[in-house]
Structure 1
Amino acid sequence: MQNGSGGLSDGSRYSYDRYYSNYIPIPDLRFTMLSPINSDFGILWGFGTGESGDKYRIDPSLQIGFLYIETLGDNEWLSLLVSTRLFGYLREKSCTANYGAVGGIQTVNCRMADSLMAPSETLEYLENRAPQDQFTVSLRYQFRF
C-alpha cells in the first residue's frame, strides 16, 4: 500500500510513504507452529504481531488449525491442512485535504484525494478487510521417487 503518490493543486506530487509507512520498521510478522498429537495429526497454532502507520493499522492475529497426513504407501502421502486466522484486519484511516476555493477542507480517502470523485464518495473506498488467509484449506498429494 505504501507505493504510490498523489497530486497537489499546484501540480506537484507527494509520496504516500508518509501515510503508509509503519511506525516501527518491522512489517506484520507471523509465526506458525505445529504441535504433533500423533504421527498423523497435529494442531497448527500461531500469531501475527500486527503493524500500524499514520493512516492504517493491521490488527494482531491468532491462527488455529490442524494438519492430517495419511500415508498411502512407502513413498506417497495425502495431507489435509485446514486453518483460520482470527482478527488481523486491515483498517485504513482518512485524511484531511484542502481543496482551496473549490471545496475547502474536507475528509477524504488519502489514496483518492486527487481523483475525479467527490471527496465524500472516496470514503467508501477506505480499506477495512479481513486477512487474505483468513480461511485456508489445502489438500496435497505427495509422491517421492
Structure 2
Amino acid sequence: MLKGRKFSYFIISVLSLLLLTGCPGVQDFSLELPGDYSVESLSAHQVIISSETSRQISDTHWSSIIIPAKVVMLGWDDNYILVKQLGLKRDPNSNNGYKIPDEDNANFWILAVHSEEVYGPFDEGDFEEKRNELGVLESVKLKYVNEYR
C-alpha cells in the first residue's frame, strides 16, 4: 500500500512540475526542405529558413540564416521554395524586449534550390512578378508552416 502511495506522489509531482514549467519544446520543430534548406522553429515567433551550408557574413561570424523570423507560410517543388515572412516588432505590452509578428511588414521570398539564389524581400506584387519570370509552377502554393508539422 505504501509503495503505491509513493508512486502516486511521484506522478503528481512530475505532472505538477510540467504544468509549472510548461512542456519543453512545444514550439520547437524542424522541417527539411529541398537542397540544404530547412525550416527551424526555435519558439513561437522565431521561425526561420536556414541552410546546412553555412555562409560567411564577415571575417569572424558565420551564419546559416537565409530568411529571418518569422516565416509564416511556404511552399516548394524540386526547384523553388516560396516563403512569406513577417518582420518582428517590439511588443508594446512587454517591458523585456519581447518581439511579436508585424502584420504590416510582410515580405515574400523565392529560393532557387539548385543555384542557391535568394530573391527578395518582395512585396506581394513584385513576388508574383518574379515568380512568373522564373517560371515557378502555379501548383506551388503557400501554406501555413504549422500545416507541415
**TM-score higher than 0.5 here?**
no
Query: TM class by shorter-chain length?
Result: under 0.3
Relative to the length of structure 1, the TM-score reads 0.25
Larger radius of gyration: 1
Whose strand fraction is larger, Structure 1's or Structure 2's?
1
User: What TM-score do you get using the length of structure 2 for normalisation?
Assistant: 0.24
Bigger RCO of structures 1 and 2 (CA < 8 A, at least 6 apart): 1
Structure with bigger helix share is 2
